[in-house]
Amino acid sequence: VIYNLLDKDTDGKIEFHVLGGIQDHLGRSHPRLVNHGRYARESFAAKAAEIKPHIGAVFSIWDETYCHTLTELWSVGLPSIVFDFPTLAERVTDSGCGWV
């Protein structure tokens, strides 16, 4: 999903910053994909402040798997994009704090 969005962004306006232990699954490198690696949960707000993102995204392929990540994004004031899985989609729809 991330690579498809980056490839479609021919104007180069999107940059993804990935936090967490997904580095082994990211595949190819891309100049607008920055992998920050694993982090301690209590340092999430500091990492987000350093990156200065405009929005967050939870591209989970399982319902509820990354529900806490959505909470973390909202805790630092970031509206979020999520896939249409019931738990995440319902939280975003009910709160109005992002897009499904």
Q: What is the tally of structural domains in the chain? A: 1
pLDDT at residue 99 tops 90: yes
Specify the pLDDT at position 66: 66
pLDDT digits (tens, 9 = 90+) for 50-79: 999 999 999 887 777 668 889 999 999 999
* 26: containing domain: 2-99
Mean pLDDT of 15-40: 84
- 15: which 2 tokens? 């940059």
Q: Name which residue leads in pLDDT, 67 or 49.
A: 49
